[in-house]
Amino acid sequence: MATIKDVAEKAGVTVTTVSRVLNNRGYISDATRNKVRLAMEELQYQPNEIARSLMRKRSMMLGLIVPTIAHPFFGQWAYSLETHASARGYKILLCNSRLDEAKEKDYIDMLKSNRVDGIIMGSHTIDVREYIHLGKPIVTFDRRIEAIPCVSSDNYQGGVLAAEHLAAKGCRSIAHICGNLKLDMLGNRRTEGFVDSLRKYGLEPIVVQLGADAFDPAEHEQVVGSLLSEHPEVDGLFVSSDMIAYQVMKVCAAKGIRIPEQLQLIGYDDIPISEWITPGLTTIKQPIEEMSRLAFNIIEKLIEGEGAELPLEHVLPVRLIERQTTRQPGLLG
Protein backbone atom coordinates (compact mmCIF):
# COMPACT_ATOMS: atom_id res chain seq x y z
CA MET A 1 0.00 0.00 0.00
CA ALA A 2 1.14 3.51 -0.75
CA THR A 3 2.56 5.51 2.14
CA ILE A 4 2.63 9.20 2.81
CA LYS A 5 6.18 9.20 1.52
CA ASP A 6 5.15 7.80 -1.85
CA VAL A 7 2.53 10.50 -2.13
CA ALA A 8 5.04 13.16 -1.20
CA GLU A 9 7.52 12.02 -3.82
CA LYS A 10 4.90 11.73 -6.52
CA ALA A 11 3.62 15.20 -5.73
CA GLY A 12 7.10 16.65 -5.41
CA VAL A 13 6.64 17.87 -1.86
CA THR A 14 7.58 16.66 1.60
CA VAL A 15 5.59 14.40 3.83
CA THR A 16 4.79 17.34 6.06
CA THR A 17 2.87 18.96 3.28
CA VAL A 18 1.00 15.80 2.55
CA SER A 19 0.18 15.42 6.20
CA ARG A 20 -1.17 18.96 6.12
CA VAL A 21 -3.61 18.38 3.33
CA LEU A 22 -4.57 15.12 4.99
CA ASN A 23 -5.50 16.89 8.18
CA ASN A 24 -6.48 20.28 6.82
CA ARG A 25 -4.04 21.97 9.08
CA GLY A 26 -1.99 25.11 8.43
CA TYR A 27 -1.75 27.01 5.18
CA ILE A 28 -1.31 25.29 1.87
CA SER A 29 -1.60 26.84 -1.57
CA ASP A 30 -4.40 25.52 -3.69
CA ALA A 31 -1.82 24.52 -6.26
CA THR A 32 0.10 22.15 -4.02
CA ARG A 33 -3.05 20.93 -2.37
CA ASN A 34 -4.27 19.83 -5.76
CA LYS A 35 -0.97 18.24 -6.68
CA VAL A 36 -1.11 16.26 -3.47
CA ARG A 37 -4.73 15.30 -3.94
CA LEU A 38 -3.93 14.07 -7.40
CA ALA A 39 -1.01 12.00 -6.20
CA MET A 40 -3.23 10.49 -3.54
CA GLU A 41 -5.80 9.57 -6.13
CA GLU A 42 -3.31 8.00 -8.45
CA LEU A 43 -1.71 5.98 -5.71
CA GLN A 44 -5.04 5.07 -4.15
CA TYR A 45 -3.55 6.33 -0.96
CA GLN A 46 -5.19 5.46 2.31
CA PRO A 47 -3.65 6.87 5.44
CA ASN A 48 -2.36 4.23 7.81
CA GLU A 49 -4.55 4.52 10.87
CA ILE A 50 -2.17 2.37 12.84
CA ALA A 51 0.60 4.89 12.48
CA ARG A 52 -1.82 7.67 13.28
CA SER A 53 -3.00 5.90 16.39
CA LEU A 54 0.55 5.41 17.55
CA MET A 55 1.25 9.08 17.10
CA ARG A 56 -1.96 10.50 18.50
CA LYS A 57 -2.28 8.03 21.32
CA ARG A 58 -5.85 7.66 20.28
CA SER A 59 -7.02 4.57 18.45
CA MET A 60 -10.66 5.52 17.99
CA MET A 61 -11.41 1.95 18.98
CA LEU A 62 -13.80 0.79 21.64
CA GLY A 63 -13.77 -2.63 23.18
CA LEU A 64 -17.16 -4.26 23.55
CA ILE A 65 -17.40 -7.24 25.86
CA VAL A 66 -20.63 -9.21 25.90
CA PRO A 67 -21.39 -12.69 27.22
CA THR A 68 -22.35 -13.74 23.70
CA ILE A 69 -23.35 -11.77 20.67
CA ALA A 70 -25.50 -14.73 19.70
CA HIS A 71 -28.03 -13.77 22.34
CA PRO A 72 -30.68 -11.61 20.69
CA PHE A 73 -30.61 -9.05 23.44
CA PHE A 74 -26.89 -8.45 23.17
CA GLY A 75 -27.09 -8.61 19.42
CA GLN A 76 -29.52 -5.74 19.34
CA TRP A 77 -27.60 -3.86 21.94
CA ALA A 78 -24.32 -4.25 20.08
CA TYR A 79 -25.99 -3.20 16.88
CA SER A 80 -27.25 0.05 18.37
CA LEU A 81 -23.96 0.67 20.07
CA GLU A 82 -21.99 0.17 16.90
CA THR A 83 -24.34 2.48 15.07
CA HIS A 84 -23.72 5.30 17.50
CA ALA A 85 -20.03 4.59 17.69
CA SER A 86 -19.44 4.56 13.95
CA ALA A 87 -21.43 7.75 13.55
CA ARG A 88 -18.81 9.38 15.75
CA GLY A 89 -15.83 7.74 14.10
CA TYR A 90 -15.29 4.94 16.61
CA LYS A 91 -14.77 1.31 15.72
CA ILE A 92 -15.87 -1.66 17.77
CA LEU A 93 -13.69 -4.56 18.80
CA LEU A 94 -16.00 -7.45 19.58
CA CYS A 95 -15.39 -9.81 22.50
CA ASN A 96 -17.58 -12.74 23.59
CA SER A 97 -16.66 -13.55 27.14
CA ARG A 98 -18.98 -16.53 27.53
CA LEU A 99 -19.17 -15.33 31.15
CA ASP A 100 -15.83 -17.03 31.66
CA GLU A 101 -13.52 -15.33 34.13
CA ALA A 102 -10.31 -16.25 32.40
CA LYS A 103 -11.59 -15.18 29.03
CA GLU A 104 -12.80 -11.87 30.39
CA LYS A 105 -9.42 -11.12 31.84
CA ASP A 106 -7.70 -12.08 28.62
CA TYR A 107 -10.01 -9.85 26.64
CA ILE A 108 -9.40 -6.93 28.95
CA ASP A 109 -5.66 -7.41 28.61
CA MET A 110 -6.02 -7.68 24.88
CA LEU A 111 -8.03 -4.46 24.74
CA LYS A 112 -5.49 -2.65 26.88
CA SER A 113 -2.63 -3.88 24.73
CA ASN A 114 -4.47 -2.72 21.67
CA ARG A 115 -4.89 0.65 23.30
CA VAL A 116 -8.61 0.96 22.80
CA ASP A 117 -9.88 4.35 23.90
CA GLY A 118 -12.53 2.83 26.10
CA ILE A 119 -14.27 -0.36 27.11
CA ILE A 120 -17.96 -1.10 27.26
CA MET A 121 -18.63 -4.09 29.42
CA GLY A 122 -21.88 -5.95 29.09
CA SER A 123 -20.34 -8.83 30.93
CA HIS A 124 -18.32 -9.29 34.04
CA THR A 125 -17.77 -12.17 36.36
CA ILE A 126 -17.00 -12.10 40.04
CA ASP A 127 -13.29 -12.19 39.63
CA VAL A 128 -12.94 -9.43 37.16
CA ARG A 129 -14.03 -6.92 39.75
CA GLU A 130 -10.70 -6.15 41.36
CA TYR A 131 -8.99 -6.65 38.08
CA ILE A 132 -10.22 -3.51 36.45
CA HIS A 133 -7.73 -0.93 37.55
CA LEU A 134 -6.86 0.12 34.09
CA GLY A 135 -6.66 3.87 33.97
CA LYS A 136 -8.97 3.67 31.02
CA PRO A 137 -12.54 4.82 30.42
CA ILE A 138 -15.04 2.07 31.11
CA VAL A 139 -18.75 1.89 31.28
CA THR A 140 -20.63 -1.21 32.28
CA PHE A 141 -24.05 -2.44 31.41
CA ASP A 142 -26.11 -3.86 34.25
CA ARG A 143 -23.05 -4.35 36.40
CA ARG A 144 -22.01 -2.04 39.24
CA ILE A 145 -18.28 -2.04 39.88
CA GLU A 146 -16.87 0.50 42.26
CA ALA A 147 -16.43 3.89 40.67
CA ILE A 148 -17.27 2.79 37.15
CA PRO A 149 -20.28 4.40 35.48
CA CYS A 150 -23.04 1.95 34.79
CA VAL A 151 -26.09 2.05 32.62
CA SER A 152 -28.90 -0.34 33.29
CA SER A 153 -32.59 -0.57 33.14
CA ASP A 154 -34.65 -0.53 36.30
CA ASN A 155 -34.32 -4.20 37.06
CA TYR A 156 -35.95 -4.02 40.45
CA GLN A 157 -38.95 -2.30 38.97
CA GLY A 158 -39.06 -4.92 36.23
CA GLY A 159 -39.44 -7.58 38.91
CA VAL A 160 -42.11 -5.53 40.66
CA LEU A 161 -44.09 -5.08 37.46
CA ALA A 162 -43.99 -8.79 36.78
CA ALA A 163 -45.09 -9.62 40.32
CA GLU A 164 -47.95 -7.16 40.31
CA HIS A 165 -49.10 -8.39 36.95
CA LEU A 166 -49.16 -12.04 37.93
CA ALA A 167 -50.84 -11.23 41.21
CA ALA A 168 -53.46 -9.12 39.47
CA LYS A 169 -54.09 -11.92 37.02
CA GLY A 170 -54.99 -14.17 39.86
CA CYS A 171 -51.92 -16.38 40.14
CA ARG A 172 -51.59 -18.00 43.55
CA SER A 173 -48.65 -20.33 43.10
CA ILE A 174 -45.83 -18.47 41.56
CA ALA A 175 -42.34 -19.40 40.43
CA HIS A 176 -39.34 -17.55 39.05
CA ILE A 177 -36.36 -18.68 37.03
CA CYS A 178 -33.32 -16.46 36.95
CA GLY A 179 -29.67 -16.50 36.06
CA ASN A 180 -27.04 -17.43 38.58
CA LEU A 181 -27.45 -14.96 41.44
CA LYS A 182 -23.80 -15.35 42.35
CA LEU A 183 -22.80 -13.44 39.26
CA ASP A 184 -23.56 -10.17 41.02
CA MET A 185 -25.26 -8.52 38.15
CA LEU A 186 -27.91 -5.87 38.49
CA GLY A 187 -30.17 -8.32 36.72
CA ASN A 188 -30.45 -10.03 40.09
CA ARG A 189 -32.56 -7.14 41.25
CA ARG A 190 -35.30 -8.45 39.03
CA THR A 191 -35.53 -11.31 41.44
CA GLU A 192 -35.45 -9.03 44.46
CA GLY A 193 -38.16 -6.80 43.09
CA PHE A 194 -40.25 -9.77 42.17
CA VAL A 195 -39.94 -11.51 45.53
CA ASP A 196 -40.34 -8.33 47.60
CA SER A 197 -43.42 -7.37 45.72
CA LEU A 198 -45.09 -10.77 45.90
CA ARG A 199 -44.57 -10.91 49.64
CA LYS A 200 -46.68 -7.82 49.94
CA TYR A 201 -49.45 -9.90 48.48
CA GLY A 202 -48.67 -12.64 50.95
CA LEU A 203 -47.20 -14.84 48.25
CA GLU A 204 -43.87 -16.63 48.39
CA PRO A 205 -42.48 -17.59 45.01
CA ILE A 206 -40.37 -20.60 44.23
CA VAL A 207 -37.04 -19.28 42.94
CA VAL A 208 -34.84 -21.40 40.71
CA GLN A 209 -31.40 -20.38 39.54
CA LEU A 210 -29.82 -21.44 36.32
CA GLY A 211 -26.28 -22.76 36.32
CA ALA A 212 -23.07 -20.93 35.71
CA ASP A 213 -23.17 -21.62 32.01
CA ALA A 214 -25.84 -19.04 31.46
CA PHE A 215 -26.41 -19.82 27.82
CA ASP A 216 -26.72 -23.57 27.70
CA PRO A 217 -30.16 -24.35 26.25
CA ALA A 218 -30.10 -27.98 27.32
CA GLU A 219 -29.48 -27.06 30.91
CA HIS A 220 -32.24 -24.48 30.81
CA GLU A 221 -34.69 -26.96 29.45
CA GLN A 222 -33.80 -29.43 32.13
CA VAL A 223 -34.26 -26.87 34.88
CA VAL A 224 -37.59 -25.75 33.50
CA GLY A 225 -38.70 -29.35 33.13
CA SER A 226 -37.98 -30.35 36.70
CA LEU A 227 -39.50 -27.17 38.09
CA LEU A 228 -42.78 -27.85 36.33
CA SER A 229 -42.72 -31.54 37.22
CA GLU A 230 -42.01 -31.00 40.89
CA HIS A 231 -44.44 -28.14 41.18
CA PRO A 232 -47.43 -28.87 39.00
CA GLU A 233 -49.41 -26.39 41.07
CA VAL A 234 -47.51 -23.42 39.68
CA ASP A 235 -49.84 -21.11 37.79
CA GLY A 236 -47.60 -18.11 37.27
CA LEU A 237 -44.00 -18.00 36.08
CA PHE A 238 -41.63 -15.10 35.61
CA VAL A 239 -38.35 -15.82 33.85
CA SER A 240 -35.42 -13.49 33.45
CA SER A 241 -35.21 -13.51 29.68
CA ASP A 242 -37.45 -14.08 26.70
CA MET A 243 -35.15 -16.82 25.50
CA ILE A 244 -35.86 -18.80 28.65
CA ALA A 245 -39.56 -18.09 28.24
CA TYR A 246 -39.44 -19.84 24.88
CA GLN A 247 -37.94 -22.87 26.45
CA VAL A 248 -40.69 -22.83 29.00
CA MET A 249 -43.14 -22.82 26.12
CA LYS A 250 -41.49 -25.85 24.63
CA VAL A 251 -41.59 -27.77 27.87
CA CYS A 252 -45.21 -26.80 28.42
CA ALA A 253 -46.15 -27.95 24.95
CA ALA A 254 -44.54 -31.29 25.67
CA LYS A 255 -46.26 -31.62 29.02
CA GLY A 256 -49.60 -30.44 27.72
CA ILE A 257 -49.64 -27.40 29.97
CA ARG A 258 -51.65 -24.65 28.33
CA ILE A 259 -50.46 -21.06 28.40
CA PRO A 260 -52.00 -18.88 29.73
CA GLU A 261 -54.95 -20.99 30.90
CA GLN A 262 -52.94 -23.21 33.23
CA LEU A 263 -49.73 -21.27 33.47
CA GLN A 264 -49.21 -17.58 32.94
CA LEU A 265 -45.79 -16.58 31.72
CA ILE A 266 -43.77 -13.38 31.73
CA GLY A 267 -40.42 -12.95 30.04
CA TYR A 268 -37.80 -10.23 30.07
CA ASP A 269 -36.19 -8.14 27.29
CA ASP A 270 -38.91 -7.98 24.65
CA ILE A 271 -36.85 -9.25 21.75
CA PRO A 272 -38.57 -8.72 18.38
CA ILE A 273 -39.91 -12.25 18.03
CA SER A 274 -41.85 -11.92 21.25
CA GLU A 275 -44.27 -9.66 19.47
CA TRP A 276 -44.75 -12.00 16.52
CA ILE A 277 -45.30 -15.43 17.91
CA THR A 278 -48.55 -16.88 19.14
CA PRO A 279 -49.32 -16.55 21.93
CA GLY A 280 -47.53 -13.20 22.08
CA LEU A 281 -45.18 -13.13 25.05
CA THR A 282 -45.99 -10.83 27.93
CA THR A 283 -42.63 -9.40 28.89
CA ILE A 284 -40.68 -6.57 30.45
CA LYS A 285 -39.25 -4.30 27.80
CA GLN A 286 -35.82 -2.86 28.26
CA PRO A 287 -35.11 0.38 26.40
CA ILE A 288 -32.25 -1.02 24.35
CA GLU A 289 -31.88 1.94 22.08
CA GLU A 290 -31.67 4.45 24.92
CA MET A 291 -29.36 2.21 26.92
CA SER A 292 -26.91 1.84 24.10
CA ARG A 293 -26.96 5.50 23.21
CA LEU A 294 -26.40 6.44 26.81
CA ALA A 295 -23.57 3.95 27.17
CA PHE A 296 -21.87 5.38 24.13
CA ASN A 297 -22.37 8.96 25.20
CA ILE A 298 -20.85 8.21 28.57
CA ILE A 299 -17.81 6.48 27.18
CA GLU A 300 -17.29 9.30 24.72
CA LYS A 301 -17.48 11.89 27.48
CA LEU A 302 -15.10 9.85 29.57
CA ILE A 303 -12.65 9.66 26.70
CA GLU A 304 -12.89 13.36 26.17
CA GLY A 305 -12.11 13.86 29.83
CA GLU A 306 -15.51 15.23 30.74
CA GLY A 307 -16.49 12.36 32.95
CA ALA A 308 -16.04 14.11 36.27
CA GLU A 309 -19.54 15.45 36.64
CA LEU A 310 -21.25 12.30 35.44
CA PRO A 311 -23.34 10.29 37.87
CA LEU A 312 -22.33 6.68 38.32
CA GLU A 313 -25.71 5.09 37.99
CA HIS A 314 -27.94 5.56 34.99
CA VAL A 315 -31.14 3.65 35.49
CA LEU A 316 -33.61 3.68 32.63
CA PRO A 317 -37.28 2.82 33.00
CA VAL A 318 -38.73 -0.50 31.90
CA ARG A 319 -42.29 -1.28 31.06
CA LEU A 320 -44.47 -4.31 30.97
CA ILE A 321 -45.79 -5.27 27.57
CA GLU A 322 -48.96 -7.23 28.01
CA ARG A 323 -49.58 -9.92 25.43
CA GLN A 324 -51.23 -13.31 25.45
CA THR A 325 -49.12 -15.43 27.78
CA THR A 326 -50.91 -13.75 30.65
CA ARG A 327 -54.67 -13.75 30.77
CA GLN A 328 -56.70 -11.14 28.99
CA PRO A 329 -58.99 -8.88 31.03
CA GLY A 330 -62.12 -10.53 29.68
CA LEU A 331 -60.94 -13.92 30.79
CA LEU A 332 -60.14 -12.97 34.34
CA GLY A 333 -61.43 -15.47 36.85
Which residues bind to DNA, rule: CB under 7 A?
A: 3-5, 12-17, 19-20, 22-23, 25-29, 31-33, 47-48, 51-52, 54-57
Select the binding partner of residue 95 from a second copy, DNA, none (C-beta < 5 to 8 A, by kind). a second copy
- The least CB distance from residue 42 to DNA, in Å, is 15
Peptide bond connecting 260 to the previous residue in cis, omega within 30 degrees of 0: yes
Q: Find the part of the chain contacting a second copy (CB under 8 A) among 33-41, 78-86, 192-200, 203-211.
A: 78-86
Q: Does 68 bind a second copy (CB under 8 A)?
A: yes
**CA-CA-CA-CA torsion sign (323, 326, 331, 332):** negative
Q: Kindly report the number of other CB atoms within 10 A of residue 314's CB atom.
A: 19
Spell out, one character per residue from 221 to 260, where the chain touches a second copy: x when CB under 8 A holds, - when not.
Answer: ----------------------x--xx-xx-xx-------
CA distance 155 to 3: 52
Q: Does 213 bind a second copy (CB under 8 A)?
A: no
Q: Find the part of the chain contacting a second copy (CB under 8 A) among 10-18, 27-35, 84-92, 307-315.
A: 84-92
Q: Does 17 bind a second copy (CB under 8 A)?
A: no
- Cα 185–Cα 191–Cα 192 angle in degrees, nearest 5: 95
Spell out, one character per residue from 152 to 191, where the chain touches a second copy: x when CB under 8 A holds, - when not.
Answer: ----------------------------------------
Q: Is 190 helix (H, G, I), strand (E, B) or coil?
A: helix
Q: Which amino acid is at 316?
A: L
Q: Does 90 bind a second copy (CB under 8 A)?
A: no
* Burial category of 98 from C-beta neighbours within 10 Å (exposed 0-12, middle 13-18, buried 19 and up): middle
For residues 1 and 46, the answer to whether their CB atoms sit within 8 Å is: yes
Select the binding partner of residue 43 from DNA, a second copy, none (C-beta < 5 to 8 A, by kind). none
**Cross-sheet strand order for the sheet of 282-285:** 206-209, 174-178, 236-239, 264-269, 282-285, 319-321
Which one of residues 20, 35, 76, 145 is an interface residue with a second copy (CB under 8 A)?
Answer: 76
- Cα 312–Cα 313–Cα 317 angle in degrees, nearest 5: 160
CA neighbours within 13 Å on the CB side: how many for 146? 10
* Burial category of 88 from C-beta neighbours within 10 Å (exposed 0-12, middle 13-18, buried 19 and up): exposed
Q: Does 273 bind a second copy (CB under 8 A)?
A: yes
- Report helix angle 72-87 to 288-303, nearest 10: 40
Which one of residues 14, 26, 102, 115 is an interface residue with a second copy (CB under 8 A)?
Answer: 115
Q: Find the part of the chain contacting a second copy (CB under 8 A) among 6-14, 34-42, 54-62, 189-197.
A: 54-62
Cβ distance to DNA smaller for residue 54 or 310: 54
Cβ distance to DNA smaller for residue 3 or 68: 3
CA distance 254 to 252: 5
Q: Which of 18, 53, 42 is nearest to 32 (CA)?
A: 18
Cβ distance to DNA smaller for residue 29 or 278: 29
CA 29 to chain centre: 49
Select the binding partner of residue 83 from DNA, a second copy, none (C-beta < 5 to 8 A, by kind). a second copy
Residue numbers at the binding site for a second copy (CB under 8 A): 1, 46-51, 53-54, 59, 61, 64, 68-72, 74-76, 78-80, 82-83, 86, 91-96, 109-110, 112-115, 135, 217, 243, 246-247, 249-250, 252-253, 272-273, 275-278, 280
